[in-house]
Structure 1
Amino acid sequence: MNTLHNFLFNVYPYICLTVFLMGSLARFDRDQYTWKSDSSQLLRARQLRWGSNLFHAGILFLFFGHTVGLLTPHFIYEPFISPGAKQLVAVYAGGVAGIICFIGLTMLLHRRLFDPRIRLTSHRTDLFILIILWIQLVLGLITLPYSIGHSDGSVMLVLSDWAQRIFTFRPDAAGLVALDWPYKVHLVLGMTIFLLFPFSRLVHVWSGFGTLAYLFRPPQVVRSRKLGLKPSVSNQQSGASR
Structure 2
Amino acid sequence: MNTFFYGVLPYIALTIFIGGTIMRYTLYERNWTTKSSQFLSKKDLKWAGPIFHIGLFMALGGHCMGILVPKFVTEAAGTDEHMYHLMSLAGGLPAAVLLLGGFLWLCKRRFAGNDRLQVNTSTMDKWLYLILFLTIVSGTVGTVSNIPGGFDYRESISPWFRSLLMMQPDVSLMENIPLVFQLHMLLWMIIAILFPFTRLVHCLSFPFEYLLRSNIIYRKK
**TM range, smaller chain:** 0.7 to 0.9
Indicate the percent of aligned positions where both proteins have the same amino acid. 28
Which structure has more RCO (C-alpha within 8 Å, separation ≥ 6)? Answer: 2
Q: Does the CA contact (< 8 Å) of 2:58 and 2:95 recur in 1? A: yes
Partner of 2:75: 78
Q: Does the CA contact (< 8 Å) of 2:66 and 2:158 recur in 1? A: yes
Partner of 2:178: 180
Partner of 2:2: 5
* Distance verdict in 2 for CA 1:95–1:89, change over 3 Å: same
* Distance verdict in 2 for CA 1:149–1:175, change over 3 Å: farther
1:89-168 to 2 correspondences below 5 Å: 89-114=87-112, 115-151=114-150, 154-168=152-166
Q: Does the CA contact (< 8 Å) of 2:71 and 2:154 recur in 1? A: no
Partner of 1:47: 44
Provide, for residues 93-129 of structure 1, a one-character-per-residue CA deviation record: whole Å limited to 9, x for no partner: 1111111011111111111112111001122212221
Residue ranges of structure 1 left out of the alignment (5+ in a row)? 223-242
**Shift of residue 214, structure 1, vs aligned partner:** 9.2
Partner of 1:64: 61
Does residue 194 (structure 1) correspond to residue 192 (structure 2)? The answer is yes
Instruction: Compare 189-198 and 65-74 and name the one that shifted more.
Output: 65-74
Instruction: Compare 194-203 and 115-124 and name the one that shifted more.
Output: 115-124
Bigger Cα Rg: 1
In structure 2, distance between residues paired with 1:193 and 1:87: 27
**Shift of residue 78, structure 1, vs aligned partner:** 2.1
Q: Secondary structure at the match of 1:44?
A: coil
Does residue 34 (structure 1) correspond to residue 31 (structure 2)? The answer is yes
Runs of 4+ deviating beyond 3 Å: none
* Distance verdict in 2 for CA 1:112–1:130, change over 3 Å: same
In structure 1, distance between residues paired with 2:82 and 2:167: 27
Aligned partner letter, 1:149: P
Residue ranges of structure 2 left out of the alignment (5+ in a row)? 215-221
Q: How many residues align?
A: 212
* Distance verdict in 2 for CA 1:157–1:88, change over 3 Å: farther
Partner of 1:88: 86
Higher helix share: 1
* Distance verdict in 2 for CA 1:214–1:118, change over 3 Å: closer
TM-score under structure 1 normalisation?
A: 0.81
CA RMSD of aligned residues (A): 2.2
Provide, for residues 176-203 of structure 1, a one-character-per-residue CA deviation record: whole Å limited to 9, x for no partner: 2111100000110011111110010000
